[in-house]
Amino acid sequence: MLFKILLGFLCGVSAAATDNITAQQGPPPLLLVSFDGFRADYLQRFPMPNLKLLYSQGVLVEQLTNVFITKTYPNHYSLVTGLYAESHGIVSSNMYDPVTHKHFHVPNDTDPMWWSEAQPLWITALDSGYKTAAMMWPGSEVIIGNRTATHFSPYNVHVTFQQRLRNVTNWILGNGKEEGVKFAALYWEEPDRSGHIFGPDNTTAMGKALKEVDDNIGLLMSELKRTGLWGRINILITSDHGMAQCSAERLIRLDNCLHPDNYTLVDLTPVAALIPKNNTEAVFNTLRKCHPNMTAYLKNTIPDCLHYRNNERIQPIILVADEGWTIVQRGDKLPRLGDHGYDNSLPSMHPFLAATGPSFRQGYQISSLQSLDVYPLMCHLLSVPPRPNNGTLTQARCLLAAETCWDAPMVIGLVVGVLLVLTAITVLFRFLSVRRRLGPRPFQRLQVDYDDDDPLLE
């Protein structure tokens, strides 16, 4: 207990010192970049010289455990709110709201009703007096609480990465009339687009897509150096989810189990969302036995670990396909060779995180982090009070240069070692005390009474 108190005190002192420095100098600008569908193990499978150069000067989180469902919209909103999908309300890419009877479909639903259950960082940072920007990040053109980011651009797939980057750097730099932004978020569609078309196991196609991604990271570094921002800005590069290989031999056909007249389909694969038209229990019992590679859940039985139950937009029945399996209503057509949305415990669904800048350590790596922890980390970097969230700064703090972090196994080993030493000292002290009490007595002459009848004297 004493050791925990001392450790907490030291961390608190370190955090207070960091906060004081930040208050005096003001935080560096922060740029968050997402490359959609960048599966964590792509870093090992494909050459990424620019990305590796970037995190060699900063930090790398090898795998981020993202939120369920592992789709683009839910996870991008989780990154900038720190909330599970059930908490921020963007529970899928296709939704039905039973209160308003509205339907949501990507890519461009800007009705604030869907997005206003949470407040993204580009809104929260405005309250700290900062200007913010969002370049085509999901939800960034939505008016939330009558506000948007200071600068934003409506989504347009035809705008190149170079054009998006140029706008973002100009916003960060500001001009003579307007102060630069402190927080900016930048989105790019690859390698997700190629992953869907070719599948992550297509080495040739994915190698080409990831070379383009790495070239864009090189362009990012060059642009920041050209504008003088490199070394004066904190950069986070991450993604929303990974990608799994699919096959026409791994199809789950709902019509083989249940006639479509029995339900309304809200979302399809790999997590299908259904609204039964009549008997919910009967529909569920039929779907529960539909296919060995698909798990059916009533809404109130969805496992706690998925954090995907407490929202009206989560439908009465959801069906979750096993990794690499695809749910269709009928037929033999495979929609995509690669897909995502599966259980967020699967490594194939995990993205990564790389970061560099004046606030980060250099050449430091950790194996894993929760994607929800990115939000409190960004708030800390900006000295922005975070909104209520499901993340924590406990582990993410270790990525920062100004923080003193103890590696958990090292701490455990140190504590065990100290306890063993103290135990040994205690045992030795007690042993010596007993020896002292049982030590040699003062010399006494032995008294012997002679008996004349003793036969030994005869």
Query: What are the residue numbers of the active site?
Result: 72
User: Residue 202 class from Cβ within 10 Å (0-12 exposed, 13-18 middle, 19+ buried)?
Assistant: middle
Task: Please state the three-class secondary structure of 425-447 as a single string.
Answer: HHHHHHHHHHHHHCCCCCCCCCC
The single-letter DSSP state of residue 269 is: S
Residue 93 makes CB contacts below 8 A (sequence gap 6+) with: 71, 72, 73, 74, 105, 106, 267
Nearest residue to 394 (alpha-carbon basis) of 361, 372, 414:
372
Instruction: Give the ranges where 257-315 is alpha helix by DSSP (H).
Output: 280-288
DSSP element (H, E) containing 80? helix 72-81
CA atoms within 13 A on the CB side of 137: 34
Q: Residue 7 burial by CB count (10 A; 0-12/13-18/19+): exposed, middle or buried?
A: middle
Q: What number of other Cβ atoms are within 10 A of residue 394's Cβ?
A: 11
Structure tokens at 47: 């050459």
**102: enclosing H helix or E strand:** strand 102-105
